[in-house]
Amino acid sequence: MAGDEPKKNDDEPDYKKWGIIVGTISAVFAILAAVNTLTGFNPLKDLGPSRTNEASASPPLAAVTSAPRTTRTTTAKQTSEPTTTTDDDNVEEETTTRAVRTTTPPSRPEFQVRSSQWNGPCNDTACSMSAVFRNNGGTGTGSATFFVLWPDKFTYLAQCSVVLSRTAQSDFTSAGCVASSAQLQNYFRTHRGGTVRLYVKVES
C-alpha cells in the first residue's frame, strides 16, 4: 500500500550540513583563485592587515627605546661638571695669591738723625758739619741738609746737602758737608767771636 511507505524526515544529520558549508566555501575560494590567476586581481587583498598601519605602529617603540639613552647621557654630563669647576677655582685662587705676594712693594727707607756735630770750629768763610743716621725703614738711600743758623733765631746763614749711602734696615750711616755763603762771611766779619747753631734735616 502506498499509504504505508515510510515518511522522509527533513531533519538531516549535522555532519551533512557542515559538509555542505565547507564544500561551498571551498568552491568560492577555488573560483577566487582562478580569477586571480587569470586577471591578477586579488579580492582578498583588502581583507589583510594594512602595511601603513603596521609602519605607523613602530615609531612609539623607537621613541621608548631612545629615551633611556638620553637620560644616561644627561646624567653623565651633570656629574662631570662640578669636578672641572672646582679645579678651575683652585687654580684661580693660587694665581691670585701669588700675584698679591709678588706685587707687594718693599717698605721705604726712613732715616733718623742720631747725633750731629761740628767738624772743628767755623772759620771766616765756612762751617764743616757731620751727623750719624739710622735707617728705621726698608733698605735704601736718603738725603740730609745741614743748616748754619743765627744764634737767636731760626734763620739760616748757610746750608749744604749730602746723599746718604744705601743702608739696610736698622743699620747706621754717617755723612757730612761744608756750608758757605756771603751772609755767613758777613756775619763773622761783623760779629767777631760770635757763635752759630747747627741744624740737620733728613729726607728719605
* Contact predicate 162/146, CB 8 Å: yes
| Cα–Cα distance measured from residue 107 to residue 159, given in angstroms and rounded to the nearest whole number | 30
| Residue 204: count of CB within 10 angstroms of its CB | 17
Exposure on the CB side of residue 16, measured as CA atoms within 13 A: 4
The predicted pLDDT at position 202 comes to 97
| Cα–Cα distance measured from residue 39 to residue 65, given in angstroms and rounded to the nearest whole number | 45
| Between 62 and 195, the higher pLDDT residue | 195
Report residue 18's pLDDT band, with 50, 70 and 90 as the boundaries. confident
The predicted pLDDT at position 114 comes to 97
pLDDT digits (tens, 9 = 90+) for 79-113: 445 554 455 666 566 655 565 566 678 899 999 99
Q: With a threshold of 0.75, does the pTM exceed it?
A: no
The predicted pLDDT at position 37 comes to 75
Record the cell numbers describing residue 118, joined without a space. Answer: 761740628
Q: What contacts 170, CB < 8 A, 6 or more positions away?
A: 134, 135, 136
Record the cell numbers describing residue 14, joined without a space. Answer: 549535522
The predicted pLDDT at position 103 comes to 67
The predicted pLDDT at position 204 comes to 85
